[in-house]
Structure 1
């Protein structure tokens, strides 16, 4: 059993997740996008040691608090290899004025998809799911029970592909691969909006009906 504590942060309402084995003293955090002090306060309140910062991709709303959280906790950052340069120069890649400035970070680890990462007593399979961004990955619990899908799949929707380097066709192929690989009971914890399951999205998500057919 895992415990997932969600936080909706920043002006773009991005979801960050603090995850641990039930009752464990160590945890990981996914996509700390903003409000570093709030996230650090929650880590302290829960009484856990942060062992890793796991990124699905490096759009600013998903990485804005990476550097301060990493500095305060000493937790290493796992970043998609293709998008490492973005994390090294975050503000250069912010597509709209009025956001930031954000602090850069040099990630301690990079992933490309296909790896199994074991941290905080949890085993994750890293699944390459580009389309919303070129290096996007989904972090899946090794038993297939939960997917931290970033901006690939949402409740009733899918990731946008009108940002630089977006690819709608590739995004749909990434989603199709997740639907083929994982059971309908798999919980989906997306980067925006509420949690869902693969089965619910297969049955009701209007953007997936051609894939399901």
Structure 2
């Protein structure tokens, strides 16, 4: 398995391509902008994209989605509670007033516990609402890797004051799910650098506040 990180758009959003080295089947996670950046990498590596997975509906994570779908004819995945936000430009556009709003209809809606597979890669869907109603994290089965979108970053948490945000839901997601991840797990967030959960437990002040560790 190979993992490639891209930093795209005005808000410097993290996007990822995850692919199997043998079959070259690939997932694209949160392609927020700059579709040519992804296309150049995919074509250079002769990858076979088989799905776009969105951790939530905010514009800075979805901007290149339609261009990539058109280019490679692959399905779009998002949690069922974020489908409305993805299809409604006035909602998904709220985070970025300087970009053109878009409406996207996903091909498959996800729920907690779903899996998405490409050859030997299996992604497990973890519903972590708070930043948006259908925010998700994606754990790579048999690897110490979790893509966390805008739920949790290395030193803080996702905002809950935007459209669809819920502070209590965020606290519950942290306490009931994220806090149970082993120290050896590495989070790959929607913004900023990757970090181990060991680092999060030492440096992430908002996480520590929710867990009563400060």
Per-residue CA shift, 1:157-212, capped at 9, x if unaligned?
A: 11011112211222122122333432111111000001111111012211122316
Secondary structure of 2:147 counterpart:
strand
Residues 51 and 120 in structure 1, CA contact (< 8 A), matched pair in contact too: no
Q: Give how far 1:150 is off.
A: 0.1
**What is the aligned partner in structure 2 of residue 111 from structure 1?**
110
Secondary structure of 2:177 counterpart:
helix
Residues 91 and 101 in structure 1, CA contact (< 8 A), matched pair in contact too: no
**What is the aligned partner in structure 2 of residue 199 from structure 1?**
198
* Whole-Å separation in 1 of the counterparts to 2:2 and 2:118: 15
**What is the aligned partner in structure 1 of residue 177 from structure 2?**
178
**What is the aligned partner in structure 2 of residue 45 from structure 1?**
44
Q: Give how far 1:106 is off.
A: 1.6
Residues 58 and 94 in structure 2, CA contact (< 8 A), matched pair in contact too: no
Q: Give how far 1:84 is off.
A: 1.1
Residues 144 and 182 in structure 1, CA contact (< 8 A), matched pair in contact too: no
**What is the aligned partner in structure 2 of residue 159 from structure 1?**
158
Length, aligned pairs only: 212
**What is the aligned partner in structure 2 of residue 77 from structure 1?**
76
CA RMSD across the alignment? 1.8
* Whole-Å separation in 2 of the counterparts to 1:180 and 1:97: 31
Q: Which runs of 5+ in 2 are unaligned?
A: none
**What is the aligned partner in structure 1 of residue 64 from structure 2?**
65
Q: Give how far 1:87 is off.
A: 2.0
Residues 187 and 194 in structure 2, CA contact (< 8 A), matched pair in contact too: yes
Q: TM-score, normalised by structure 1?
A: 0.92
Establish whether residue 130 from structure 1 lines up as the match of residue 129 from structure 2: yes
